[in-house]
Amino acid sequence: MTQVTPVSTPKPRRPRPQVMRLTDAAAQRITELTQRADSEIVGLRVGVKNGGCAGQSYTVEYAHEIRPTDEVVEDKGVKILVDPKAVLFLLGTEMDYRADKMQAQFVFNNPNQISACGCGESVELRPAKIDG
């Protein structure tokens, strides 16, 4: 007698949450960067590396190809490739771009960020004491 093993259908997976989202300013800046690049760029690769005063820092670099392990985020017509080691640190993050008279940079509004240091970006000032 042949025994038949029942075939189980796999449970449908829940949709994965989008790791990051972009503001309009960030998407516009990424579009500008990819159009101005010297070579073919598929998007920006975002990650987290150890180092800096608070222990970690964000990384942003040109991505020339999509790696099999990259988490691909498509938002507002551009691609962000997230390093797989950074996904848990970046989950729920909004990437913004801000420019003012002193600097222009990508800013990460990250609900997972506990603290940040101000290395060279902020100072504390108080009025001078005048003897009189």
Number of H helices, E strands in the chain: 2, 7
Largest CA distance in the chain: 108
CA atoms of 60 and 7, how far apart (whole Å)? 46
- pTM for this model (two decimals): 0.74
* pLDDT above 90 (res 128): no
- Asked if 90 and 65 count as a contact pair (C-beta separation under 8 A), the reply is no
First to last CA, the chain: 108
pLDDT of amino acid 112: 78
pLDDT tens per residue, range 8-38: 666 666 666 678 999 999 999 999 998 888 8
Domains parsed from the chain with CATH numbers: 18-123 (2.60.300.12)
